[in-house]
Chain A
């Protein structure tokens, strides 16, 4: 029974959020709470030779200043610092570990005081002397040092030869700048000292159990000594996958002082955390005159830190998506004196597919083919990289539905051919693709005889709507009104969950709920069938469902017993079941979500001002659990895609190795005025192979393709190809 799944159910936590009842990491109170303020390094590379805290310690209200030379012990092995999502290769950054400075903005001291203002003031009284070392932060000037780090990819055919032979070929560099997540909520941790060395840590994170294990390993604690809670997260987008500096620092403070400590990073300091790495994406495509591809080559050159190899799949999407007998990929890293990059919404794909889909557009122009037609010419029903069928792939329908809604057939292919007064109109499109992953997640459901159920799991809801879909799936599976379901998430003591990321949480948590609810059903069926003169006696257990608060025969709901009666007869007050989801191993199919994105831009011809007046995003992502929160995910992603195309860029002065726009006045993201009409279409994509419910996940697919669609529209409007993002008006005027 699907009373809730698939509907536009409003967020179950919406009221708590808008009324302020929802508490975030930096809002939890504690007795005798202390406040920590971070002191950050002001050079990109070198050693601290003197860190004088004496003036700071004299400030009334300052309790202590923690530094590498004055702190409780921290684990010494790299392995201890590797959290669940740390890059495999490298040595993770350790706050306040030693006197080395590895990047500008690195935390080097924590001032702990009775109140935040005092801590902040005292921080200005700390004197630091460095021994500076030569450094490099500019990817482009260090490009020659790029080195391959991946497992060598097995090329298909001979792409270079095919490219040379190809009737038509296109080859270019696309440059995507570094970008910071800028979630609305600042990174914060309140580490509550519970006494006897035990801590309850309220943290802004995408994975409480990841943080809990990390803290236990870094501070060498027993698992029951640290509990991590993160009930609400005001956006994270990947920046909260790894434990961040503030959680280490707050915990350090609490352990050092045996008091509760809160650390909130400033917006500026959040630019010392991870970011989407700048990449130079080199794409080369070779085609026959009819538009079939002969060669796909994609090389990404990305920034990483000197101490960790962060690399994502930027380059694999073209060879997976498009039929081509020859392909070659490579991902190279340049090690610079910067913080390690991290995942940011659709990591790898957002940048790589942007380049790929701009290149496809350029190829379509060279071939004089409609961009959709080109994509259909090399459309593949099989995953080209692995040569596997998909569990489902409705990308063709995305093109068709998106084009229809957008009015694509009315497009005049010639650049600069469409106008609205002083504005040039441009229409562009692009493909989006992402993975449909699922991970082990366990859920506990406690059903009480009054027909209420408590569902709990350690998974985070980072604003995506996990609370809501868990409640929906549970309400349907248990046959209860959604008001009777309460969901508890993001407490490390709850049943297991990985970090919330990769778009895997919807499928993973829903199936865990389904599993636990099934065990509850089975127990209820046993109670009912054991009743004297049971109305369900003789009915096959498989034909018995939970519906409308009863245990009923599926085919004849008049044969039913209320849950309350069933439990009374079974003499149970509560039924508690905990279940780990089970996804049968299936290596025979590829799992992906897809989209077709259409964008209209209007460009003021004289002034170069660009407006994205319309975006249609047609998404095929299996079953949509909640059309309201799902639509929000896609809309938010499209807005971000507008930002990627036109606004976002972390600007560094490489002479200082410093980020110079580390605030959200100067780091531009789209504002309301930049966002016009956004049309989200969910294309039907039944999929009974991927998992029971046919869920694929929506968190990331929405951004992939958007920047390319906009860039392609800008080309169509102006005849100018801007391959260096963001596309600002100066680039059009030049």
Chain B
């Protein structure tokens, strides 16, 4: 670990000031990702700006009937919040599919959005990795890539974004509120994370010196027909091989609105509007779900070890949509896939 300075931000403006004053400074919230990366010498901030005590812990209703969630709300509090459980159970489920209870207690909403890839080479400073050290090469492309991306990859990087929460947020159409030296702005969650292209070291569109202050959920919660299914190498406490967030509005057996996002397959939560559009007005059947899956997975390509993910993702999409349609969402507490 590097030596670093430590400052506790007194408010958001102070945090922004501290970041501006020191380009190598980093925000720290729950610390569950950043500290690990510092221990491995992957992140070497010159200063930690501790935002964990800033008053960004509220969950409030917005004027249009949505919710605004402060960036420092712990993942567990969010998952178990009555308004989330009742109105956005997809989000609650996705959060509970991630990490462990202890980690979720520490992890913040903002930190979760900013967590970095779990690519083993990214973590090992002795190996080439474009994301960690630009222009050194990507060790995964011809190396261990069993859990790497099948969509939106580039020649520079095939890493995945490991967040479960973000997958649900993408499906729900969440917005990210950002504050920075130039004031406040809002971006759609689906535009928040980037694809790797030739700059894999840049994970998100958050500018340097900016801070996430909140996420906002639009009013539609899909509380009746939803499911979050995470397929992984053990039944809990593992990152997704593939995960699916699915949400439907049904009129009888006909699909009114559909939302679909994949996790564990790309550098960002993977959502494609044409896959959802193809479902609208259709009957909720495995065939239609399969077609949507094909659209969602269009262009998928594999490296030496991750080819299985393409078919797995397709099947998982169909299963998750069936769970959603049947109003039998995947339980994150049961040791069984519904």
Contacts and interface: CB of A to CB of B under 8 A. Distances in A.
A661 B119 CA distance: 10
Given A611-B335, A653-B139, A666-B118, A733 B234 contact: no
B308 interface: yes
Interface string A575-609: 00000000000000000000000000010101111
B282 interface: no
A465 B235 CA distance: 30
Contacts of A666: 118, 120
A647 interface: yes
Contacts of A121: 1-3
B126 A656 contact: yes
Contacts of A117: 1
Interface in B1-54: 1-3, 41
Interface stretch (A328-336, A360-368, A436-444, A671-679): A671-679
Contact of B238 (A124, A606, A660, A668): A668
A608 B335 CA distance: 15
A734 B306 CA distance: 11
B124 A658 contact: yes
Given A124-B1, A124-B2, A660-B144, A607 B315 contact: yes
A651 B121 CA distance: 12
A117 B1 CA distance: 8
B234 A604 contact: no
Interface string B130-151: 0000000001000110100000
B236 A607 contact: no
A646 B235 CA distance: 11
A604 B323 CA distance: 15
A120 interface: yes
Contact of A729 (B121, B143, B144, B312): B312
Given A120-B1, A604-B337, A730-B308, A671 B235 contact: yes
Contacts of B319: 606-607
A645 B84 CA distance: 38
Contacts of A606: 315, 318-319
Interface residues of B, number: 32
Interface string B98-130: 000000000000000000001011001011000
Contacts of A658: 124, 126-127
A733 B311 contact: yes
B120 A607 contact: no
Interface in B280-334: 308, 311-312, 315-316, 318-319
A608 B315 CA distance: 10
A734 B308 contact: yes
B79 to A, nearest CB: 17
Given A656-B127, A658-B126, A666-B120, A608 B139 contact: no
Contacts of A691: none
B159 to A, nearest CB: 14
Contacts of A665: 118
Nearest to B139: A653
Interface in A23-66: 42
Contacts of B233: 647, 668, 728-729
Contact of B144 (A604, A653, A671): A653
A609 B231 contact: yes
Chain A interface helix/strand/loop/mixed: loop
Interface in A409-424: 422-423
A98 B316 CA distance: 54
A673 B234 contact: yes
Nearest to A602: B336
Nearest to A733: B308
B212 interface: no
A730 B146 contact: yes
A668 B235 CA distance: 11
Pick from B41, B126, B241, B336 the residue with the most CB of A within 10 Å: B336
A670 interface: yes
A647 B235 CA distance: 11
A609 B126 CA distance: 34
A162 to B, nearest CB: 40
B337 A653 contact: no
Interface string A112-125: 00000100110010
B143 A608 contact: no
Nearest to B334: A673
B231 A607 contact: yes
Contacts of B41: 124
B9 to A, nearest CB: 24
A120 B1 CA distance: 7
A153 interface: no
Contacts of A672: 236
A354 to B, nearest CB: 19
Interface in A595-643: 602, 604, 606-609, 611
B237 A671 contact: yes
A77 to B, nearest CB: 34
B13 to A, nearest CB: 32
Contacts of A154: none
Given A121-B1, A651-B144, A673 B235 contact: yes
Nearest to B333: A673
A733 B308 CA distance: 7
Interface string A127-169: 0000000000000000000000000000000000000000000
B106 to A, nearest CB: 15
Contacts of A728: 233
Contacts of B121: 660
Nearest to A59: B3
A42 B128 CA distance: 13
A173 to B, nearest CB: 20
Pick from B118, B231, B233, B315 the residue with the most CB of A within 10 Å: B233
Given A117-B1, A733-B312, A676 B126 contact: no
Nearest to B123: A663
B242 to A, nearest CB: 9
B235 A674 contact: yes
Nearest to A610: B235
Contact of A671 (B127, B146, B234): B234
Interface string A543-560: 000000000000000000
Interface string B223-257: 00000000101111110010000000000000000
Contacts of A646: 234
B234 A611 contact: no
Contacts of B1: 117, 120-121, 124
A674 B241 contact: no
Pick from A604, A609, A668, A671 the residue with the most CB of B within 10 Å: A609
A668 B234 contact: yes
B236 A609 contact: no
A730 B302 CA distance: 13
B118 to A, nearest CB: 7
A609 B146 CA distance: 16
Nearest to A656: B127
Interface in A180-235: none
B237 A653 contact: no
Given A117-B1, A124-B1, A729-B231, A608 B312 contact: yes
Given A609-B337, A647-B233, A730-B308, 8 more contacts: A121-B2, A121-B3, A606-B319, A607-B231, A607-B312, A607-B337, A608-B312, A674-B234
Closest 9 CB pairs of A and B: A673-B235, A673-B236, A730-B308, A660-B120, A42-B126, A606-B315, A673-B335, A671-B237, A733-B308
26 contacts: A42-B126, A117-B1, A121-B1, A422-B337, A604-B337, A607-B312, A609-B235, A609-B337, A651-B120, A653-B120, A655-B139, A656-B139, A658-B124, A660-B120, A660-B124, A666-B120, A668-B234, A668-B238, A671-B237, A673-B234, A673-B235, A674-B235, A728-B233, A730-B146, A730-B312, A733-B312
Interface of B: 1-3, 41, 118, 120-121, 124, 126-127, 139, 143-144, 146, 231, 233-238, 241, 308, 311-312, 315-316, 318-319, 335-337
